[in-house]
Amino acid sequence: MNERTVRALQFAAVQVVGAVAVVHFAVGSEQLGSLAANGLLGDYLGGRVLERPRAPLFLLSSLALLGGMVAAGRGYVERRTAYQLGIAAMLVYLGGWVAWHTVLDHGFALSGGAPEATAHTHGGLLDTLYSHYVAPLAATVGAAASEGGSARTLLGIVSVTLELVAVALLAVLLRYDADAREGGIDLGLTLDAPE
């Protein structure tokens, strides 16, 4: 792959990973800000944070992503390591999203179970992907075209899509960027381009 293409992919990866960081920062800070505005931040940080950890995790992880991007851009982190850590971060976000909507039951599993009034169930990974990604995307796009749609649902869909795109871009860069051939974290896996 030529240098111009690699640079274009790097630019795209920076934009996509930066957008993922901004989405998570916005969601985390909005949730914490809402708690603070309603006088519930002390109670939340005093014990409920373990039941609903998304806000601080989103905030801290977004700052880590942005810091990692700055460190990589300034040359403090090797490109190969930056690509690997970027892929790992996106996979953690995606794995967390799947876990939140399946085994963690939207966080109710952390707090002792869902309220009895809920009938929300998941039929496995494919059902979760359909019920939390495909169906809301279709409904949101349809609603946005006619009446406005749900911004929160759309933001979640955009975030998951950006994370998938980031994994793909970073994997391609890991394989084809000539400056990322050496160093990095030895995971026993390789995406090295054939010589």
> How many domains is the chain built from?
1
Q: Which of 11-25, 78-92, 181-195 has the lowest mean pLDDT?
A: 181-195
Count CA atoms closer than 13 A to 140's CA, side-chain side: 16
How many other C-beta atoms are found inside a 10 Å radius of the C-beta of residue 161? 14
88: its two tokens? 């790992």
* Contact present, 90 and 16 (Cβ < 8 Å): no
Is 102 within a domain?
yes
Q: Is residue 168 part of a domain?
A: yes
Residue 186 within any structural domain of the chain: no
Residue 193, domain member (yes or no): no
In a domain, 192, yes or no: no
124-127-130-132 Cα dihedral, nearest 10 degrees: -60
* Residue 56, domain member (yes or no): yes
Q: Is residue 66 part of a domain?
A: yes
Percent of the chain scoring above 70 in pLDDT: 68
Domain residue limits at 96: 3-113+120-180
pTM strictly above 0.85: no
CA distance 21 to 86: 11
What single string gives the DSSP state of each residue in 91-136?
HHHHHHHHHHHTTTGGGTTTTTS--TT------SHHHHHIIIIIHH
Asked if residue 71 belongs to a domain, the reply is: yes
pLDDT tops 80 at residue 75: yes
Q: Tell me: the pLDDT tens digits for 82-128?
A: 999 999 999 999 988 888 777 666 555 455 555 544 445 556 666 66
CA–CA distance, 165 with 75 (Å, rounded to integer): 24
